[in-house]
Amino acid sequence: MSHDNSQIYRTTSARTGKMLAIMLGICIVGGVIFFSMWDYWISSPPPVVALMGGGDDHAGPAVHTGATITSDLSFIESSDFRTLAFNALPGEPDNNPTINMEVGDKVMFNVVNDGRSFHSFGVTSDDEGFSGIIPGSEVASASNPLKAGEGGTSEFIAGEDGVFYYICTVPGHREQGMVGQIIVGDASAQVMEPEVVEEVMEPEVVEEVMEPESTPVEFNGVISVPEGTGTPGCDETNACYIPFNVSISAGEEITWSNDDTAAHTVTSGSPADGPDGNFDSGLFMAGGTFSTTLDESGEYSYFCMVHPWMTGNITVN
């Protein structure tokens, strides 16, 4: 007679449940440990992201091997908001100060918004525009900018010789003068001509801006923020908001449509005196809308906190 000597292993539902509970506990503990170290995981970006000096991928991430430089920068604006700068207006001492450093040095930026408009900050190797911002150098962003009185800190490590630029990353603000140079190593400074100052000189503006007191117009309930209002010029023909001066009845809803490519605000008050608290859209992006209802009769002036040359008026009957 033959015997089957193979062993048969059996378990109970209770033991199976206990094993599953143990495995679940291990997963939970592992998850807790992982997320408790989240700051560590995100503090070490991969090499492609960490290339802070504008070098090629094979150069590896920029490493802080030299001196630490502190740069205090303040966003400021001219009284007519047409000229923007860091620390001082063009022609004044400390206007957009140039930073000189060597490869391996680090700049610690302390920035504060001492203006009335919205601003944000970053370093780029691009000699125009507001893109190509080097990771780690940002303070706020164009979609979430610094309001008046706010500030922040960031850093830039020089990975190679060259010319870099610290700028306001709100579209249009670099072109109005918010740009300074960072010279790394033996690189030669680029000639930065103050084009904005020349173009913004007072000549023709006075004549054309004196016309605005046209009578309010009836409209279909929607005011357009047209394309191109992110740079000065629309104010010369009252075309920053279309129509710029409207008449509505008390309790009637009014809507603004952002038909520009830049973000804007619709803020009651004036650039000179600031917001008056009647209404404020906050920052709304291209393609967005903002609506409000005005229940009390009177005159309501408004402007854009990002581009203060943009002004409009509402008459409520």
Measured between alpha carbons, how far is 182 from 80 in angstroms, rounded to an integer? 28
Report the SS3 class of residue 272: coil
Q: Are residues 113 and 160 in the same domain?
A: yes
- Say how far apart CA 241 and CA 307 lie, in whole Å: 12
Beta carbons within 8 Å of 66's beta carbon, 6+ residues apart? 101, 102, 103, 104, 105, 106, 158
- Burial class from Cβ neighbours inside 10 Å (0-12, 13-18, 19+) for residue 304 reads buried
Q: Do 61 and 107 sit in the same domain of this protein?
A: yes
Please tell me whether residues 187 and 77 are part of one structural domain. Answer: yes
**Is residue 6, in this structure, part of any structural domain at all?**
no
What is the tally of structural domains in the chain? 3
Is 214 inside a domain boundary? yes
Q: 3-state DSSP call for residue 143?
A: coil
Same domain, 145 and 30: no
Residue 5 resides in a domain = no
User: In whole angstroms, what is the distance from residue 137 CA to residue 164 CA?
Assistant: 12
Query: pLDDT of 57-112, one tens digit each?
Result: 444 578 989 999 999 999 999 988 889 999 999 999 999 999 999 999 999 999 99
User: Among residues 140, 168, 200, which one ends one of the domains?
Assistant: 200
Domain boundary among 200, 216, 247: 200
Going residue by residue through the chain (317 aa), what tens digit of pLDDT does each one get? 555 555 555 667 777 778 888 888 888 888 777 776 655 554 444 443 334 444 444 445 789 899 999 999 999 999 888 899 999 999 999 999 999 999 999 999 999 999 988 899 999 999 998 889 999 999 998 878 898 899 999 999 998 999 999 999 988 899 889 999 999 998 766 666 554 444 444 444 444 433 445 566 667 889 999 998 887 888 889 999 999 999 999 999 999 999 998 888 999 998 878 889 999 998 888 899 999 999 999 999 999 988 888 999 999 98
Asked whether residue 255 falls in the same domain as residue 310, the answer is: yes
Residue 254 falls inside a structural domain: yes
What does pTM read for this prediction?
0.65
Chosen domain end from 172, 200, 228: 200
Burial state string for 159-183 with b = 16 or more CB within 10 A and e = fewer than 16: bbebbbbbbbbbbbbbbbbbbbbbb
Is 148 contained in some domain? Answer: yes
For residues 177 and 83, give the distance between their C-alpha atoms in angstroms, rounded to a whole number: 6
What span, in angstroms and rounded, lies between the C-alpha atoms of 304 and 242?
A: 14
Of the candidates 163, 169, 160, the residue with the CA atom closest to the CA atom of residue 140: 169
Tell whether 93 and 24 lie within a shared domain: no
Domain that holds residue 92: 49-200
φ, ψ at 61 (rounded to 5°): -70, 150
Shared domain check, 252 and 190: no
Same domain? 32 vs 56: no
Residues 196 and 240 in one domain: no
8, part of any domain: no
Question: Are residues 25 and 152 both part of a single domain?
Answer: no
Asked if 255 and 266 touch (Cβ cutoff 8 Å), the reply is no
Closest CA to 226 of 292, 127, 142, 310: 310
Helix (H) or strand (E) holding 224: strand 222-225
Whether 137 and 179 map to the same domain: the answer is yes
Domain co-membership, 55 together with 190: yes
CATH number at residue 148: 2.60.40.420
Question: Does some domain include residue 22?
Answer: yes
